[in-house]
């Protein structure tokens, strides 16, 4: 395992990348239907689960390690339980928006006559699956020493030789294999 300084940098990058996932990417992670828009009820549900995972790891960074795995599973259930709205209309909007009607909850819903409970269980299953996936992504990023879609690397501007961690996704422009902190698109103006 990396020292605390390296772990913090890797963890910070992993959390920053996780925070940029769109509701559509989160729907893929949760294996549910795509929400109707970025601002729909289902999108808000998925965003809230993502944000709760990020906050949990910020509060207790050990959740991102193998040692914190079991505690992470407990927190996953808490996040999933709190995910569906307590307001009936909002809950059913979430339910329809993420396609929770496609979930097989026959083994989890003991009272099949309580439709409100069945809706909550289906949303719980989606939220739990998403939280589990996100915790796993963070843990893998920390274990591998790189964040989800790329490792932390040193990038040098070809004009000013400024060396930073990151790369084109962090505001640096990649021009034919050369990385530059050009800000006006044509000339070197300064550092981003």
The torsion of the CA quartet 55, 60, 61, 67, rounded to 10 degrees, works out to -130
Q: What's the whole-number average pLDDT of the chain?
A: 76
Cβ neighbours around 78 below 10 Å, total: 12
Tokens representing residue 192 in the block = 């981003």
DSSP classification of residue 91: H
CA angle 180, 185, 191 (to 5 degrees): 45
Stated as kind and residue range, the H or E segment containing 73 is helix 69-82
Q: How many residues does the chain have?
A: 192
More confident residue, 98 or 181: 98
Write out pLDDT tens, residues 121-166: 999 999 999 999 999 899 888 887 744 444 434 444 555 555 444 4
Count of CB atoms within 10 A of residue 38's CB? 11
Mean pLDDT confidence for 86-92 = 93
165 phi/psi in degrees, rounded to 5? -85, 140
Higher pLDDT, 9 or 166: 9
Q: Virtual CA dihedral for 3, 169, 149, 144, nearest 10 degrees? A: -10
* Separation of alpha carbons 181 and 84, rounded Å: 43
Whether this model's pTM surpasses 0.75? no
SS3 100: helix
Instruction: Say how far apart CA 70 and CA 79 lie, in whole Å.
Output: 14
Mean predicted confidence (pLDDT) in 3-29:
82
Task: Locate 34 and state its tokens.
Answer: 């795509």
Question: What percent of the chain is modeled with pLDDT above 90?
Answer: 42
């Amino acid at each position: 395992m990396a020292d605390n300084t390296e772990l913090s940098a890797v963890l910070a990058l992993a959390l920053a990348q996780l925070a940029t996932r769109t509701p559509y990417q989160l729907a893929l992670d949760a294996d549910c239907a795509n929400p109707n828009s970025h601002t729909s009820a289902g999108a808000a549900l998925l965003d809230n689960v993502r944000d709760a995972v990020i906050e949990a790891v910020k509060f207790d960074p050990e959740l991102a390690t193998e040692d914190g795995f079991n505690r992470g599973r407990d927190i996953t259930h808490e996040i999933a339980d709190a995910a569906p709205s307590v307001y009936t209309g909002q809950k059913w909007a979430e339910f329809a928006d993420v396609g929770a009607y496609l979930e097989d909850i026959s083994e989890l819903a003991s009272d099949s006559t309580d439709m409100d409970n069945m809706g909550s269980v289906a949303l719980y299953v989606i939220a739990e699956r998403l939280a589990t996936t996100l915790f796993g992504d963070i843990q893998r990023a920390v274990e591998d020493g790189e964040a989800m879609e790329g490792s932390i690397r040193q990038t040098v501007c070809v004009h000013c030789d400024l060396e930073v961690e990151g790369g084109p996704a962090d505001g640096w422009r990649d021009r034919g294999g050369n990385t530059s902190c050009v800000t006006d698109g044509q000339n070197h103006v300064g550092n981003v």
